């Protein structure tokens, strides 16, 4: 499971998300699929999100799983998400 | 899932405006204040029926669901509110960005530590002069300048994002260059604001301190020299500002307005109606949004100077009873700015 970093602010609008990194004063925009994964990050497991992504975006389950994990690794690397379990 | 940086935010803001999402909310936590600024637009410094904490927390939930991203805590002096830090923490717990407008008088070392825990987007401190006599004359509180300087140092030592803001008046315009030098010494951004506004109750007393015509001209020259001339980009069919569309304000007693300056027509009160309902149903909000469109058209039709200078219809209503009433100070600013820009 993951949680949003305490150094960010974020909001969604339609199918997009904007994340503000308050420490580095940068703004990150997430497109539809990124926003979909981001909004589920605190409440769903990687497997659950991958299944939902696969269903909603017509992506092969194995690819969806890889994409979601890669997304989370990227966000954690930027310090925008934190892994908690 | 490729992330995009920075450029996406302009589009996000434009879409929020188009969709009437209140991206920015000003929460006036209290009318109480430790200063008595000579031009203050608050008509009183006491809360008659302060909004309970539980109502503020419900407001924050509603702001999150309405699509708000930026919450500004202001007053009065917001840090004088007994639950200031709790409310600020709750804003952040909902992953919203918090800005604090404060006079700094209540920021000691311990308060600065608590402020750092909040991770504010910015802390905007009120500076009314480059020297203690000028600043303290405006605030009516001896020692307020020294207290502010201490606050700046406390916040800076914690690497917090501080901004200084100075409403320019006939009392401090002679210190314009010294104000700029003071901010540069701290390496802090400084906003010099040429506009004073009437009191929320319509009193025009604050306007007695409006800076002089020569002061406005000099201010625009200084801002031009550093590439910071205040500019609005208006196009036919556009909107003057976010009133009724992408901003809202809530006063210390729970009354909701379409903008912090739009005080003559409230949307309702969050004690009796959820904010989500007020935002979606309010005729006052829709009327304000319509006025913003009309004001844009009016300014564009006047001339280039008017069309490119920031204008506040809420201030105009308070001052002159109409949103279509440019003040003398606005005209001076517009003409000075146009001269400095030269022909387009």
A1-48 pLDDT, tens digit per residue, is 899 999 999 999 999 999 999 999 999 999 999 999 999 999 999 999
State which of A48-52, B44-48, B204-208 shows the largest mean pLDDT.
A48-52
Helical axes A61-77 vs A32-40, angle rounded to 10°: 80
Spatial CA neighbour of B251 closest among B47, B105, B65, B106? B47
Question: Is the predicted pLDDT of residue B9 greater than 90, yes or no?
Answer: no
Question: Is the predicted pLDDT of residue B8 greater than 80, yes or no?
Answer: no
Dist CA B249 CA B70 (whole Å): 12
A80 touches chain B (CB under 8 A): no
Residue A36 Cα distances to B69, B283, B298, angstroms = 18, 34, 42
Cα of A38 to nearest chain B Cα, Å: 10
* Contact predicate B163/B122, CB 8 Å: yes
Residue B4 confidence class, pLDDT cut points 50, 70, 90: low
Q: What is the mean pLDDT of residues B138-147?
A: 98
Question: Is the predicted pLDDT of residue B6 greater than 90, yes or no?
Answer: no
Range B105-111 contact pairs with CB under 8 angstroms and sequence separation of 24 or more: B105/B34, B105/B35, B105/B77, B105/B141, B105/B144, B105/B147, B105/B148, B105/B151, B106/B34, B106/B77, B106/B79, B106/B80, B107/B79, B107/B150, B107/B151, B107/B154, B107/B155, B108/B150, B108/B154, B109/B154, B111/B79, B111/B154
Dist CA B266 CA B76 (whole Å): 19
B92 touches chain A (CB under 8 A): yes
Find residues 101-160 of chain B whose CB sits inside 8 Å of chain A: 119-121
Mean pLDDT of chain B: 95
CB contact under 8 A, A14 and B15: yes
Question: Is the predicted pLDDT of residue B344 greater than 80, yes or no?
Answer: no
A84 touches chain B (CB under 8 A): no
Judging contacts by C-beta atoms under 8 Å, the chain A residues touching residue B16 are 13
Predicted pLDDT of residue B44: 85
Judging contacts by C-beta atoms under 8 Å, the chain B residues touching residue A2 are none
Q: What is the mean pLDDT of residues A47-67?
A: 94
Spatial CA neighbour of B102 closest among B182, B193, B16, B165? B165
Residue B1 confidence class, pLDDT cut points 50, 70, 90: low
Interface test with A, best of B1, B7, B71, B95 (most A CBs within 10 A): B1
Predicted pLDDT of residue A8: 98
Of chain B, the percentage scoring pLDDT greater than 90 comes to: 88
Predicted pLDDT of residue B342: 81
Residue B304 confidence class, pLDDT cut points 50, 70, 90: very high
Judging contacts by C-beta atoms under 8 Å, the chain A residues touching residue B119 are 6-7, 22-23
Residue A77 confidence class, pLDDT cut points 50, 70, 90: very high
Q: Is B291 helix (H, G, I), strand (E, B) or coil?
A: helix
CB contact under 8 A, A18 and B21: no
Strand partners, B325: none
Question: Is the predicted pLDDT of residue B7 greater than 80, yes or no?
Answer: no
Which tens digits make up the pLDDT trace of B227-247? 889 999 999 999 999 999 999
Question: Is the predicted pLDDT of residue B192 greater than 70, yes or no?
Answer: yes
Interface test with B, best of A11, A31, A54 (most B CBs within 10 A): A11
A38 touches chain B (CB under 8 A): no
Dist CA A81 CA A59 (whole Å): 24
Q: What is the mean pLDDT of residues A51-63?
A: 93
CB contact under 8 A, B1 and A71: yes
Residue B269 confidence class, pLDDT cut points 50, 70, 90: very high
Judging contacts by C-beta atoms under 8 Å, the chain B residues touching residue A67 are 1
A30 touches chain B (CB under 8 A): yes
Residue B201 confidence class, pLDDT cut points 50, 70, 90: confident
Residue B148 confidence class, pLDDT cut points 50, 70, 90: very high
């Amino acid at each position: 499971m993951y949680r949003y970093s305490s150094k960010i602010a974020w909001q969604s609008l339609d199918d997009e998300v904007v994340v503000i990194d308050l420490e580095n004063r940068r703004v990150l925009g997430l497109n539809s699929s990124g926003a979909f994964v981001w909004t589920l990050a605190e409440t769903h497991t990687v497997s659950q999100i991958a299944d939902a992504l696969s269903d909603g975006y017509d992506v092969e389950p194995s690819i969806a799983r890889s994409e979601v994990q890669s997304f989370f690794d990227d966000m954690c690397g930027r310090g925008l998400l934190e892994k908690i379990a | 899932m490729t992330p995009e940086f920075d450029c996406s935010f302009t589009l996000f803001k434009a879409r929020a405006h188009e969709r009437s999402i209140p991206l920015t909310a000003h929460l006036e936590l209290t009318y109480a204040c430790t200063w008595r600024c000579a031009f203050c637009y608050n008509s009183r410094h006491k809360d008659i029926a302060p909004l309970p904490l539980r109502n503020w927390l419900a407001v924050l939930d509603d702001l999150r669901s309405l699509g708000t991203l930026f919450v500004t805590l202001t007053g009065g002096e917001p840090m004088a509110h007994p639950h200031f830090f709790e409310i600020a923490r709750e804003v952040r717990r909902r992953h919203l960005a918090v800005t604090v407008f404060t006079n700094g008088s209540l920021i000691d070392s311990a308060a600065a530590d608590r402020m750092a825990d909040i991770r504010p987007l910015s802390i905007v401190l009120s500076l009314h002069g480059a020297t203690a006599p000028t600043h303290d004359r405006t605030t009516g509180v001896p020692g307020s300048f020294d207290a502010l300087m201490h606050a700046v140092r406390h916040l800076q030592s914690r690497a917090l994002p501080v901004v200084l803001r100075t409403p320019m008046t006939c009392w401090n315009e002679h210190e314009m260059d010294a104000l700029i030098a003071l901010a540069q010494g701290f390496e802090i951004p400084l906003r010099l604001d040429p506009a004073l506004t009437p009191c929320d109750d319509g009193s025009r007393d604050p306007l007695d301190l409006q800076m002089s015509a020569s002061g406005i001209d000099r201010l625009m020259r200084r801002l031009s020299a550093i590439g910071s001339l205040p500019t609005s980009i208006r196009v036919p069919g556009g909107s003057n500002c976010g009133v009724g569309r992408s901003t809202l304000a809530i006063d210390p007693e729970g009354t909701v307005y379409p903008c912090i300056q739009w005080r003559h027509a409230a949307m309702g009160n969050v004690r009796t109606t959820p904010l989500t309902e007020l935002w979606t149903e309010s005729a006052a909000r829709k009327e304000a949004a319509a006025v913003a469109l009309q004001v844009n058209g009016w300014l564009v039709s006047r001339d280039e100077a008017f069309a490119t200078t920031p204008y506040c219809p809420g201030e105009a209503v308070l001052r002159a009873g109409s949103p279509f009433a440019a003040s003398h100070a606005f005209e001076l600013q517009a003409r000075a700015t146009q001269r400095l820009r030269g022909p387009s």
